[in-house]
Each structure stands twice: as C-alpha cells, then as structure tokens.
Chains A and B, each alone.
Chain A
Amino acid sequence: MSQYFDLTRRSFLKSSAAAGVLVLGTYFAGAAPRVMAGVLAKPSESAKTANLFVALRPDGIVEITCHRSEMGQQIRTALAQIVADEMEASWDKIVVIQGKGDLKYGDQNTDGSRSIRYNMQRLREMGASVRYLMRQAAATRWNVPIDSCSAQQHLVTHSSGKTLTYAELVNDALSITPPELDKILLKKRSEWRYINTAMEHIDLKDIVKGKAIFAADVLEPKALIAVIVRPPVVGGKVKRFDAKAAKAIKGVVDVIEIPAPKGAPLFQPKGGIAIVANNTWAAIQGRRALSVTWDDGKNGDYNSEAFKASLLATVSSPQSSVREIGDAATILAKASDKLVADYYAPHLAQAPMEPPCATAMYYKDRVDVWAATQNPQADMATVGAMVGLPKEKINVQVTMLGGGFGRKSKPDFSAEAAYLSMKTGQAIRVQWTREDDIQHSFYHAVSAQHIEASLDKNGAIEAYLHRTAFSPIASTFQEGATAPGSFELRLGFTDNPINTPNMKLENGEAPAKARIGWMRSVSNIFHAFAIQSFIAEAAHKAGRDQKDYLLETIGPARIVDVTEQNAQYDNYGADKATYPLDIGRLRHVIEKAADMSGWGRKLPKGRGLGIAAHRSFLTYVATVVEVEVSDSGELKIIKSWASIDAGTVVNTDTVINQVQGGSIYGMTAAISEGITFDKGRVQQSNFHDYRVPRMSDSPLEIEVEIIPSEAPPAGVGEPATPVYAPALCNAIFAACGKRIRQLPIGDQLKA
C-alpha cells in the first residue's frame, strides 16, 4: 500500500462525484443520530461537519481516513482493521488516507496512548453501518427482507445463494438513509476476522523498500532548505549577528532573523537566525559560518548540579498534600527504624530517529504545511499565530513520523517553516539537525523524590510518605509556573498502588529553566522508578522475596478509588466505572511476568532478576529483567519478559512490538547520561554524548504476553516504558547488591 495524502484524495472525490461515491460520515440526516453518531460524541463536541472516515468507491475500493499520526504504532493499520472488520471489507480493497489537520475529526493529538480508546467504538459503528447499507441495498434490489441477506468480504449473499458485490451496490446505497444507531448490529467478538489478530501492517512493504514518505522526503513543493541557529538558553535573544561569511557560502540564498517568542513558551519557535539555502549541505555550512552574539536572559544561570541540590532540598521538607489517608506523618516521626530513600532522575530528550522537520508554503490567505507532527491541529494554531492567520487557513498534511515520543506534538518547527516562507515568498523546508534536537527540545522533566516508610512486625508497610518535585510541564503553558498540573501528578504519583493504612503524598514546586514537555509515558517514568524501587528496597529490609512482597504490598484484588483519599484524580480522562484502577489486574500481570521468567529459579553468581509493575494510560504492565553484573561492574541485560493487560487490543503483533520497543525506550532513563545544563546551555549535542540504547545494550530477547481481555481498550504505546528502569535496577541489586537511586546508572556499578 502506498501513502495517500488528503489532498490527492479530495481531488479524486471531486472528480468521481458524478460516478457516486458512498461517503460515510459526511452527513447527519435529520435529528436522529445516524451512521456517524459516534463522531458527534466525545472527544469533540464541535464536529458537526463532514467527517470523511469511510468512502466506498464505485470500483469497490474502500478509503479509510486515518486522522491520527503514524509514528510506528501502526495506527493506520489498526484503524483500518476496525472499520474493515465491521464492514466486512476484503482487506485487499482497503486504502488508507492520511487525514490532514481538521477540527471536524475531533481530537487528533496522537499522544497519551489513546487513539484506539477514543476511536474504536465509533469506527466500529461506522463500519457496521456500511455493512448494513450493503445488505439493505441488496435486499431492496432483490425485494427480499434484509434479514435474509448477509455480508461477507465485499459480497452480499441472499439465503437463496445469489450474490452482489459491494461495488455493484454502491449506487443503490447512496439513496438509502443510514441506519439509526440502535439499528446497527456490531459483530460479536467471535466473528472478528481482523481485530485482535497479528496482521501485517499496511506500510511495511513501503518502509522496507525505502518508499515511506517522512517529513524530509516531501518533494512537492520544491523547497529551499533552512537550518536555524537558536538561542542556546531558553528566553535568550539575538544581540547581534554577522551574516557575511554565511552569505558567502555557495548555495546560501538568505539569512533571516526569527523573532523571539513572547510570554509562555507554548509551542512557539525559540527565535534565532535561519540560513536559507538551495540545498541542505549549503544551509549547514552557512550556519557554521554564522557568528551570533546572544543575550542569555534569566535562565543563563541554569546549572544541573545546583538544580539537583535544590530539588533534593525541596523534597526533604513537608510540601503540599496530594493524597492522604491515616496519619503517616505522626507514625513516621515516632518510628525508630525507617527506610528512607531519595531518588533522582535527570532531564531526558525524546530524540526521535527523525529529527523535527516541516515544509511550508505561505500564500497571502493560507499556509500549506507538510510536517512530521503528532498533532496537526496544534500546527494549525501555532502556525496561524506565527503568521497572523486564523488556524482554519492552515492546511496541515501529516507525513509519516520517524518516531515522535512526544517531541512532535510540539510543532515549533512547522511555525519556523511558515514564518520563513512568509518572509521569502518561497516554499521552505526547515531541517533540524541532531544537535538542534538534543539542544532545543521540550525536555522530560528533571525530578527528585523522597520516600520514607516504616514496616510493621510482619514487614508490611504501615506508614508511607512520598514527596515529588520536578520542573513542571505546566510552565510550558503558563509563564513561570512552578507547580505541576494535576495532569502531571496523576501520572504514576497520585495513583500509587501501595496498600497501607497510612499514606501521605506531597508535591513540591520547582521552576522550569528549560522548555519542559512530555516524553513517552511522561512523569510515570520517574514515579514508577521511585515507587517500584522502594518496594523492592522494603522487600529486602523485610527479608522477603521481591515479587511476593510486591504482591502483598499492593494488596488483594480490588478496585481502588484514590479520590476517596483526599486526592484529585482524573483517571486519564476516562470514566472510572469503565476504567477503574483494578489491583486484581495489576496482580495478574505481575504473576504472569514472574511465571514467564521462571521467577525463583537458581541463578549463577553475578546474575539477578528484578521485577516492576505499573498501571499507566489505563493499562497494566509488569516486567522482569535478568541481568549479569561482572566483578568489575560491567552490566549486561540478558533477557526480559513483560506481560501487558491493555484490555481489548486490535493488532496483537503491534502490541508486542510496542512493548518490546517501549521496554528498550525505558532503558534510556537508566543507561543514558541524560541531558544536563551549565550556564543555561545543554551540554550534550549528538548521539556520542547523549547515549541511547543500541543493540549492544539491549537484550536480544524480550518475551511479551498479552493478557486476553474483553475490557475496553486502553493504551499501548507508553505503558511498557515506566517499568523498565526499576525492574532493571531491582535486577542489578539482586545480582550484586548495589542499589541505584540516582539515574543514570553511569559508573555507579564500578565504584
């Protein structure tokens, strides 16, 4: 299958309108909710206009619009699986159209592991509506009751045996009123043929031939290339610059200053100087030749060592309460034998393999953008603000993303391209280099946590106090914000699964002296690291097996509602009756992963197993890691096992691939040096000093089991990430007795 962009498709629809294309989701007949009723429901209440989700062409080809961004999670395939299954389409007649940014689709922010959760039901209804229309069209043609007609694989069959293809029925279906919602009969699970299978993803062959179109592969329009030098310090400005040497480079056509942002960072460009050239190499050369003097502004004092000390100081004293039950403070004040631990984790950069990139063409009354974006609607708003046009005038085509991990939901790069196109009157492609990506990201927050607990005579946690402090993402949206939004605390902190009569959770404030943003699984990473490490530390103190103690610590299978413990918790925006915090499911993945790993088996000296479990994005994951630590402190990850309960899943192979990849991504937190600042500047610049996992770091086997479930679908892309670092560090402790409380591991095993 080749990629199709919305523009190509639009012209097709226009030209074939006369032939009659059955386009579903384009109209809402009368007041009664019909075919596309689901479209009107959450997440967008304003989606009252055309929704081009399914179009059945007269040649029988089914065009399915994917309005979410593809970044390796195979959402294009999964959405097609859902629609095609319910409509009984034959798979070789499916074409997936990449939807452009458009409010009519409702939410397009491909982030937070929620594409399937938000869309499965409405896409099933849509597919089932088409199936109904096909049966109804055939029934009318044959003048028989609809119940005597069944649809399978692009073919309607009457009980007498006669058949009509979907292609033959398109025209008839056009005059049939789509069924009301309650008339739509969804398939039973046992009838699914695509959903919950491991079918090959639709872009696989293009990728393997090198034909998939990523942002820098867009050849039309022919664009000039821009490479930008940005202020090294957030909030910094250009004081002066000398473009003479840069302009002397052959191929450089222009040097343009981009204005500094105002107010909160939002997704605004950082400003700086752009070198515009007629090829990438000339632009890179031009940037090298440019000399700029900066005014660093108030973040020029950002130093990671000093900041670390201040975060640790914050969590050493009482802070604002996030959740409380019982009286942990009093018990802990009296306790003579407490377990006390401070955990620290540095900033990280998402570092998707494809650095940010976008092409833009400015016209007076509109801008066309081609971007590797996770959220084209954010591009519409950000580009619109940058060039002074309403967001409806910004056409955003979404290319394939060479990884996103949260970086590409912040489209500063699209706004840069649009601004430069406005200034030059030419199509511009802004190419970020790896140095740009490492030094100008929206970073995963640096964090410190303090936990103390006392154990009762059986070794169980009787009182637990946990404080967290980190530079908040809230600061990206509200200038100077130092308190995290509740959306940040809910990620693994407020929903702590420890079952104890006395618990106090607190959060401290911290300024942000860099742009802070989300990275795959966000603050779940450091929260799960601290909690799951601490439980293993307590197990050790109690002289218990790590896995048994973990199960006992989270307690018996039950539904927990943390809002009953003086906490605010929005459960990832999901209804808590449909998606409760279910300790039974958490227990189940722990037991499963332990089982898979042969937990308890005898290991040679220097080897160890570690386990960690966590619920995030409404999904439950447990991971066991086996490591070997040599006498000289060399770490080798031998193998890991993961079990995941994500409720109903669409593509089982994708889930396995995401869990494997999410595990390795989670390894970054442990083995990378992280991102550090001095004088406000990022000290790393490329993969030689910002280390990410390589094959030599990775286990060659990551066994994954999906817990079969009929629960509603939950997240898949992120939940395997947070458990990895704590499972790894717990394994290291089991192997050599070294407890890692500060990430990255670095030289700590050598000391």
Chain B
Amino acid sequence: MITFTVNGETREFSGDPTTPILWYLRDELQLTGSKFGCGMAQCGACTVHVNGVAQRSCVLPVSAVSGSKITTIEGLSKDGDHPVQQAWIEHKVPQCGYCQCGQMMQAASLLASNPTPSDEEIVQGMSGNICRCGTYPRIHKAIKSAAKTMAGVEYFIPETEGEKA
C-alpha cells in the first residue's frame, strides 16, 4: 500500500507500483487536467507538483511518491485564481489549451523557486514544455506579469494548507 496526498486529500494505492502517477490521476481519480502528450518526459503536458516542485507525472511511478504531496492543476488554487492562472487569462495565452495546464504548473513551480526570473531563466525553465499551438511569446509575457503580482503576496498552496489543517 502506497500512501500520499493529492490536492490535500490522502490517497492509498495498491495497484501496480510502476504505474505512472499521470494514469492514476486521470484513470482512477478522474482528475483530467493533467494531460498525456508524450509519455517520456519530453513535453510537460502532464506536469504536476510533487512537494511543490514540478515533475513529469507520465514517468513518475506511484512507488516514487510515497509520502509525497501531489498538486494538480485542479488543486493549484481554489478558484482558478493563482497568479499564474490570472496572468494566463490576462494575456489570453491559450489557444487549444491542451498544453496549458502543464505550462501553468511548470510556471508556478518556476516562480516558487525563483520569484524574479530573468528573460533567459524563464526560457530555460519553460523549454521542457511544448506548446504545439506556439503560444510561447504569450507564456513568456504572462510569467513576467505573474512574477510582478506574486511579489510579496501570499497565495493558496494546497500542500501548506494541508500542513495547517
């Protein structure tokens, strides 16, 4: 039995421990915000946070997340109002939207570890995430504006909420 939390809720898993977390989230928990794009850590569509850090859930076996706190796009904020999500709306980033949950999870993690990234650091931090619709210029701008709003503001993080509870 492997135990971990997803968006603050405790989960127990007793299936094939090699199952990538992505399929557990999508097939079992029906949390479909995390997407399948490549299955080999090449595109970032499946990005979730494990203990607050962006990880590719398509290659992360359940066995590796024992005791961890997993956050998906559904848990990134209470109401879609994480500064990154707001910046995505402000800049009208998405086209088809398929890559965007992964992009936002990656961006949120990037800003959590580096609240004032330079242009080049944003490029480096985001180049593992593919957007086939080509929204890169807007993603870049949205991250810069999210960084501005986030400066000095506390926001909802499920995993720390979990700790408080």
Q: Are B35 and A433 in contact (CB under 8 A)?
A: no
Q: Encode B51-89 as 1/0 by CB contact (under 8 A) with A.
A: 000000000000000000000111000001000010011
Chain A binding surface SS class: loop
Within 8 A of B (CB), among A57-115: 70-74
**How far in angstroms is the closest Cβ of chain A from B74?**
5
Tell me, in angstroms, the Cα distance from A687 to B23 when the chains sit together.
20
Task: Tell whether, in the assembled complex, residue B37 and residue A434 are in contact, meaning their CB atoms are under 8 Å apart.
Answer: yes
- 212-234 of chain A: CB within 8 A of chain B: 212-214, 216-217, 219, 225
Contacts of A281 in B (CB 8 A): 16, 18-20, 23, 27
Cβ distance A525 to chain B, nearest Cβ, rounded Å: 15
- B101 contacts the other chain (CB 8 A): yes
User: Does A360 belong to the interface (CB within 8 Å)?
Assistant: no
Interface string of A695-732 (1 = CB under 8 A from B): 11011111000000000000000000000000000000
Tell whether, in the assembled complex, residue A216 and residue B32 are in contact, meaning their CB atoms are under 8 Å apart.
yes
**Residue B119 CB within 8 A of the other chain:** yes
- Check A664–B136 contact: CB distance below 8 A: yes
Q: With A208-B94, A354-B96, A686-B40 in contact, do A280 and B134 touch (Cβ < 8 Å)? A: no
Q: Are B127 and A72 in contact (CB under 8 A)?
A: no
Q: How far is the CA of A204 from the CA of B88 in the complex (A)?
A: 9
Known: A210-B73, A695-B140. A279 touches B96 (CB 8 A): no
Contact present for A661 and B135 (CB under 8 Å): yes
Is B162 among interface residues, defined by CB-CB distance under 8 A?
no
A211 and B85 CA atoms in complex are apart in Å by: 13
- A205 in the interface, Cβ–Cβ < 8 Å? yes
Residues of chain B lying within 8 A (CB to CB) of residue A695: 122-123, 126-127, 129, 136, 139-140
- What residues of chain B have their CB less than 8 Å away from a CB belonging to chain A? 16, 18-20, 23, 26-28, 30, 32-40, 42-43, 45, 72-74, 80, 85, 88-89, 92, 94-101, 104, 119, 122-124, 126-140
Cβ-defined contact, A657 with B80, below 8 A: no
Would B94 and A207 count as touching, CB distance under 8 A? yes
Q: Is the CB of B33 within 8 A of A210?
A: yes
Query: Taking the complex as formed, is A405 at the interface, i.e. its CB lies under 8 A from any CB of chain B?
Result: yes
Chain A: CB-nearest residue to B87: A208
Interface of chain B: mostly helix, strand, loop or mixed:
loop
B126, closest chain A residue (CB): A695
CA–CA, A164 and B16, complex, Å: 63
Query: At the interface, yes or no: A452 with Cβ under 8 Å from chain B?
Result: no
- Chain B residues near A662 (CB, 8 Å)? 134
What chain A residues lie within 8 Å of B131 (beta carbons)?
353
Residues of chain A lying within 8 A (CB to CB) of residue B42:
434, 686-688
Q: Are A353 and B43 closer than 8 Å at their CB atoms?
A: yes
* Min CB gap A344→B, angstroms: 24
Do B40 and A207 touch across chains, with their CB atoms under 8 A apart?
no
Query: Are B94 and A353 within 8 A (Cβ)?
Result: no
Name the residue among B73, B99, B122, B130 with the largest chain A CB count within 10 angstroms: B130
Pair A280/B94 contact, Cβ less than 8 Å: no
Residue from B28, B35, B80, B134 whose CB has the most chain A CB atoms within 10 Å:
B134
- 27 cross-chain CB contacts under 8 A: A73-B95, A204-B92, A208-B94, A209-B33, A209-B74, A210-B33, A216-B32, A217-B32, A225-B27, A280-B27, A280-B36, A281-B18, A352-B96, A353-B96, A353-B130, A354-B37, A401-B96, A402-B97, A431-B36, A434-B39, A660-B138, A663-B134, A687-B40, A687-B130, A692-B130, A693-B136, A696-B124
Contact of B137 (CB < 8 Å), options: A351, A355, A665, A701:
A701
Which residue on chain A has the smallest CB distance to residue B127?
A: A696
Task: Tell me, rounded to whole Å, the shortest Cβ–Cβ distance linking A111 to chain B.
Answer: 15
A694 at the interface (CB under 8 A from B): yes
The winner among B34, B74, B96 for most chain A CB atoms within 10 A is: B96
A168 beta carbon closer than 8 Å to chain B: no
Of the candidates A204, A434, A661, A664, the one whose C-beta lies within 8 Å of that of B38 is A434
| Distance from B54 Cβ to chain A, minimum over Cβ atoms (Å) | 15
Contact B97 A698 (CB under 8 A): no
Residues of B within 8 A of A657 (CB): 92, 95, 135, 138
Using C-beta atoms within 8 Å of the partner chain, give the interface range for chain A: 35 or more
Is the Cβ of A207 less than 8 Å from the Cβ of B100?
yes
Q: What is the CB-to-nearest-CB distance from B91 to chain A, in angstroms, rounded to a whole number? A: 10
User: Which residue of chain A has its CB nearest to the CB of B28?
Assistant: A279
Q: Which residue of chain B is the closest to A282 with respect to CB atoms?
A: B16
For residue A201, CB closer than 8 A to chain B, the reply is yes
User: Please, how many angstroms separate the alpha-carbon atoms of A405 and B133 in the complex?
Assistant: 9
Chain A nearest CB: distance from B78 CB in Å? 10
Do A353 and B99 form a contact, CB below 8 Å, given A687-B43, A694-B127? yes
Given that A281-B23, A400-B97, A699-B137 are contacting pairs, would A208 and B130 also be in contact in the complex, using a CB cutoff of 8 Å? no
Chain B positions within 8 Å of A214 at CB level: 32, 35, 98
Told that A72-B96, A355-B37, A660-B134 touch, could you supply 13 new A-B pairs with CB distance under 8 A?
A: A70-B96, A204-B94, A212-B97, A213-B32, A214-B35, A219-B32, A280-B36, A352-B96, A353-B131, A403-B96, A434-B40, A665-B134, A693-B136
Residue in contact with B89 in the complex, picked from A208, A402, A692, CB distance below 8 Å:
A208
Q: Does A673 contact B (CB under 8 A)?
A: no
> Is A250 an interface residue, CB under 8 A from the partner?
yes
**A368 contacts chain B at the CB level, 8 A cutoff:** no
Known contacts: A216-B36, A661-B133, A695-B139. The answer to whether A72 contacts B23 by CB under 8 A is: no
- A237–B144 Cα gap in the complex (Å)? 53
Q: Compute how far the CA of A702 lies from the CA of B134 in the bound complex, rounded to whole angstroms.
A: 11
B139: chain A residues within 8 A (beta carbon): 695
A400/B96 in contact, CB under 8 A = yes
Q: Is the CB of A686 within 8 A of B136?
A: no
Contacts of A295 in B (CB 8 A): none
Q: Bound state CA distance, A212 and B98, in angstroms?
A: 9
List of B residues within 8 angstroms of A693 by Cβ? 134, 136
Please tell me if the beta carbons of A208 and B88 are within 8 angstroms of each other in the complex.
yes
Provide the residues of chain B in CB contact with A698, threshold 8 Å.
134, 136-137
Cα of A70 to Cα of B74 in the assembled complex, Å: 22
Asked whether, in the complex, the Cβ of A354 is within 8 Å of the Cβ of B135, the reply is: no
Q: Check: A653 CB closer than 8 A to any chain B CB.
A: yes
Q: Is A203 an interface residue (CB 8 A)?
A: yes
Q: For residue A479, which residues in chain B have a CB less than 8 angstroms away from its CB?
A: none
By a CB distance below 8 angstroms, the chain A residues around B37 are: 353-355, 434
Q: How far is the CB of A597 from chain B (nearest CB, A)?
A: 16
Q: A210-B74, A354-B35 are in contact. Are A205 and B80 (CB under 8 A)?
A: yes
- C-alpha spacing A688/B130, complex, angstroms: 12
Interfacial chain B residues near A251, Cβ < 8 Å: 16
**A686 touching B38, Cβ below 8 Å:** yes
- Name the CB-closest residue of B to A209: B80
Q: Which of A125-151 contact B (CB under 8 A)?
A: none
- Give the residues in chain A near B80, CB-CB below 8 Å: 205, 208-209
**Which residues of chain A are within 8 angstroms of B129 by Cβ–Cβ distance?**
694-695
